[in-house]
Structure 1
Amino acid sequence: MLSILGFLTIALFTYLVMSKRMIAFTAIIFVPIIFALIGGFGAKLPDMMEEGVLLVSKTAVLLLFAILYFGIMMDAGLFDPVSNKILKIAKGDPVKIAMGTAVLALLGALDGDGTTTYMIVCSAMLPIYRKLGMNPLVLATVSILSLGMVAGTTPWGGSATRAISILGLDPSHYFNPFLPTMLGCAVWILFTAYILGRIERKRIGAALIEQVAAAEMAATVQEAPARNTMLLWANFLLTVAIMVTLIMDVVPLFILFIIGFSLALIINYPKIEDQKRVIKEHAANAIPVVSLVLGAGIFTGILQGTKMVDHMAGDLVSVIPEALGPYFTIIIAIIGVPLSFFMSNDAFFFGAVPVLAKAAAQYGIHPVEVARASVVGQAIHLIGPTSAPLWVLIELIKSDLGKLQRFTFVWILLSAIVMIILLLATGAMSI
């Protein structure tokens, strides 16, 4: 009975979110409450929900201040010097342009927001692509891979945040062992950009490339506003200090970003009125995601408190051949690819991942490995119908969905395989 109620909870939640009959925040709260009441758990609901919210509270705080911090860094033009350097170095060579796009996209993806990254990369690089006649789908592919393999794996990125919160994990324990995989993914993305650039170089032809002078390229790009050099250096050093402290794991991540945001606010906006304005501006990006994480706490608190997840996991394990049990993390990574394409992140991480984690526990697999395996499909999610930033990208590059999916599909599948191999090779995911 509890297993049936659990599967009905997930099915109804997924249906309501994907059919856009309810937003994820309301569905993730009310759907489990309804089925818990049906199951006779009404008296225990307040305690279950409280425990769930407390479980995700640190992640919610981390997400809030990480979004605010990177929002200030973007406004301050922290990555502008990198963008300008890319344009000078490229000099009309499609290989350098594609690899420069990858560098810019990887840096932009650190803030975890797809729309922001697409806008930064497209504003800096699209004029060059058009001037040289390069295929803008190269830019799209490199940007999507950067978001899926970097933004989708950081604990302040929306995807990993969902996995961390719904499974009640410590963000540091999830992220630190993931760093070697992330660095390997960055190298893979640069290699992919190199291959795509060589294809474009051959297609365009050397004669045309030589005709495009660096001065002509620069003329197509909007002049960036003047920046305070001392301020840029201060922001750069602050960001480096945060990343070093993060890797050293000496301060909880949510405390680290609270302090980092406070310093960034004082450094960049000494006037109190400016500080108030900036917080209001970036809160619009942070609050919806943070509220969703807190809602996820209620969802997981109810599913765990009622033991629905335990019964669902038992049923799931019963249909998997026992010989495949030790390879369950790989199974999660593989099935997560098609599920991530068709399902919204809310439906996948809040609906499917808790069940997979409980099933994995039957084989002695820690939830943190399930979280790492669950983000493998994030790149393919970014070309799926439920990815909101996708439509921004399509509009920016003036393409259509079918063309973009056909161009990027093989590269994304290859990238998923590479990520699985890296996770296994670095020990972030075991078999």
Structure 2
Amino acid sequence: MSEPSTMLTIAGLGIIVVTVGLLIWGRVSPVVAMVLIPITGALVVGFGPGDVGDFFSSGLASVISVVVMFIFAIIFFGILSDAGLFDPVIRGLILLTRGRVILVTVGTVLIGAIAHLDGAGATTFLLTVPALLPLYRALNMSRYLLLLLICLSASIMNMVPWGGPLIRAAAATGTEPIQLYQPLIPLQGIGLGLLILLAAALGVRETRRIRVGVAAGRLQPVGDVDIRTIADDFSQRQVEDRAHLKRDLNGGRVVYWLNVVLALAVVATMLADILPPELAFVIGVAIALPLNFGNAKKQMERVKAHAPNALMMAAVIIAAAVFLGVLNDSGMLESVALSLLEVIPEGLGQYLHLVVGFLGVPMDMLTSTDAYYFSVLPLVDATAGGFGVDTASTAYALIVGNIIGTFVSPFAPAMWLALGLAEANIGQHIRYSFLIMWGFSIVLLLCAVLMGIIQV
């Protein structure tokens, strides 16, 4: 690295601080903040419009495959959800709980994991909270326990390469999402295993709380719970929600199992690196549309229905191409990192990524996901890199440390949907869930270190 430039350091810090501040303030969209602030900063420093155009082209080249993958992944899983791919599995898990508190908590984790396969928080909460809340009420179980378990399960599943955090981290580091994801697969499995154990422990605690509440007269004794009625209500609700699609969908058991095969084939093709992930999902969408919808008009209607979710994140990532392109190609990020290297004690520098990862869940309460991955991650990467820490290791530390707190943060829009569905409030949810989520993220971070995913 060269010597830091005072002007570039000040400009880079100014762009990062102002952008993060605007994202936290919430008065402008990420697209506005990540486009206008870096361009203004670059022009003030003395770069011309041509330079800014080059910065954008460079930034766009690093994220375009991520954008394509995300758009088609959201549409692909949206089509499969329209076809009811996950409904029988969720219904079956509800029946398997048999109305027993510990089985209900473990079942909640499994249902949340399956519901979040598409990586969309809103879909997950719409599927799970209305389905499970009557069961929790019938058993005198806390709605905040329901939220905690679904949020933890969804957060672990959010490591998938089409999930928001990994997509952002891949864009910020210029890494292919599937390459970033592959080392996380065993950690994801361990995370789900640990979460099942935690769910069982919380189920024991909840059983004791209910027993004490009944003995004290605060709670009514629970008789036999009609679990089949609750499962039937879930199925009926899904049928009603898709009533407008009934005439359009190609139904039948054969089509259902073909959808299962298609989903497994697309994911396996992607994970085995047979095809680029963006191409795997493009092909998946091209097959799923005629498989489930009979003519071109119906097919395009479903694409339009899922386009808003797909394009929202795509727009943010393309805007981030401006932010990242300006910071990286102008030399600002390098200059900021060099300046930080001069003041950070050498003994701490090689652990900087771990320190930030350790604080990942609290940071989720103070900053938005976009600010964390597009501002904090590149800066920590550039600084830790000066101490010999690999970019992938820094990315994993920040992802694992932060991802568990996604759905306890007031900056997550899907969280407000979950609170509304559960008739809960954000303050109580944070008090109930925050310390458990933070502790779980620290355990997962330590597992990643022991597995060699994160370099120490």
Q: TM-score range by the shorter chain?
A: over 0.9
Q: CA deviation at 1:17?
A: 2.1
Deviation at residue 233 of structure 1 after TM alignment: 1.1
Contact 1:92 1:217 in 2 (8 A): no
The equivalent of 2:298 in structure 1 is 274
Q: Which residue of 2 aligns with 1:33?
A: 39
Q: Which of 292, 308, 316 is 2:340 aligned to?
A: 316
Matched, 1:380 2:405: yes
| Aligned counterparts of 1:137 and 1:321: Cα–Cα separation in 2 | 42
Amino acid paired to 2:303: I
Distance 1:339 1:185 in 2: 21
Match of 2:95 in 1: 88
Per the alignment, residue 405 of structure 1 pairs with 430
Shift of 1:215: 4.3
Cα shift readout 1:184-223 (whole Å, capped 9, x = no counterpart) = 1111221222112222223334995562243454465452
Aligned-pair distance for 1:354?
0.9
- Aligned to 1:133, the other structure's residue is in SS state coil
CA contact under 8 A between 2:360 and 2:405: conserved in structure 1? Answer: no
CA distance in 2, matches of 1:219, 1:171: 38
Q: Larger deviation: 282-291 or 10-19?
A: 10-19
- Offset at residue 256 of structure 1 (A): 1.1
User: 1:328, 1:22 → 2: CA distance?
Assistant: 30
Contact 1:379 1:412 in 2 (8 A): yes
Residue 164 of structure 2 corresponds to 158
Q: Distance in 2 between matches of 1:182 and 1:215?
A: 31
State the Cα distance separating 1:378 from its structure 2 match.
Answer: 2.4
Q: Does 1:188 align with 2:194?
A: yes
Deviations, residues 13-48 of structure 1 (Å, cap 9, x unaligned): 122222223210121111100000011111411111
> Alpha-carbon deviation of 1:237?
1.3
Change (3 A) 1:314 1:338: farther
Q: Once the 2 structures are TM-superposed, how far is the Cα of residue 324 of structure 1 from its aligned partner?
A: 2.5
Following TM superposition, by how much is the alpha carbon of 1:176 offset from its aligned partner in structure 2, in angstroms?
Answer: 0.5
Q: Assess if the C-alpha contact under 8 Å between 2:135 and 2:227 holds in 1.
A: no
**Count of aligned pairs between the two proteins:** 430
Please give the per-residue CA displacement for 1:210-258, whole angstroms capped at 9, x wherever unaligned.
Answer: 6224345446545243963222211111111122222212211111111
- Equivalent position amino acid for 1:126 in 2: L
Distance between the aligned counterparts of 1:278 and 1:287, measured in 2? 14
Q: Distance in 2 between matches of 1:219 and 1:201?
A: 25
Taking the aligned partners of 1:218 and 1:68, their CA distance within structure 2 comes to: 27
- Please give the residue correspondences for 1:312-351 in structure 2 after superposition, counting only pairs within 5 Å: 312-351=336-375
1:173 to 1:214, Cα distance in 2 relative to 1, 3 A: closer
1:356 counterpart = 2:363? no
Match of 1:55 among 36, 46, 62: 62
2:417 paired with 1:392:
yes
SS at 2:397 equivalent:
helix
The 8 Å contact of residues 8 and 45 in structure 2, kept in 1 or not, is answered as yes
Does the CA contact (< 8 Å) of 1:329 and 1:429 recur in 2?
no
SS at match of 2:31: helix
Among candidates 82, 91, 100, match of residue 107 of structure 2 = 100
Aligned to 2:286: 262
In structure 2, C-alpha distance between the alignment counterparts of 1:314 and 1:26, rounded to whole Å: 28
**Contact 2:166 / 2:177 at 8 angstroms: preserved in 1?**
no
Cα distance between partner residues in 2 of 1:216 and 1:63: 37
Contact 2:31 2:315 (8 Å CA) reproduced? yes
Q: Give me the whole-angstrom Cα distance separating, in 2, the residues matched to 1:314 and 1:341.
A: 28
RMSD of aligned alpha carbons? 1.9
Where does residue 140 of structure 2 map in the other structure?
133
Letter matched to residue 301 of structure 1: G
Pairing partner for 2:176 from 158, 170, 175: 170
Alpha-carbon separation, structure 1, partners of 2:182 and 2:39: 35
Structure 1: 5+ residue runs without aligned partners? none
1:17 aligns with 2:41: no
Quote the Cα distance in structure 1 between the aligned partners of 2:108 and 2:137. Answer: 14
Letter in 2 for 1:385: P
Match of 1:230 in 2: 254
> 1:428 maps to what in 2?
453
In 1, Cα distance between equivalents of 2:281 and 2:423: 37
Cα distance, 1:414–1:428 mapped onto 2, change above 3 Å: same
Give the distance between the partners of 1:359 and 1:80, measured in 2 at CA: 46
CA deviation map 1:128-170 (0-9, x unaligned): 111222111111001111222221x222111111111021111
CA distance in 2, matches of 1:118, 1:104: 11
8 Å contact kept, 2:91–2:231: no
Take 2:154 and 2:60, find their aligned partners in 1: how far apart are those partners? Answer: 28
Counterpart secondary structure, 1:382: helix
The CA distance in 1 between the partners of 2:232 and 2:316, in whole Å, is 44
8 Å CA contact 1:134–1:204 kept in 2: the answer is yes
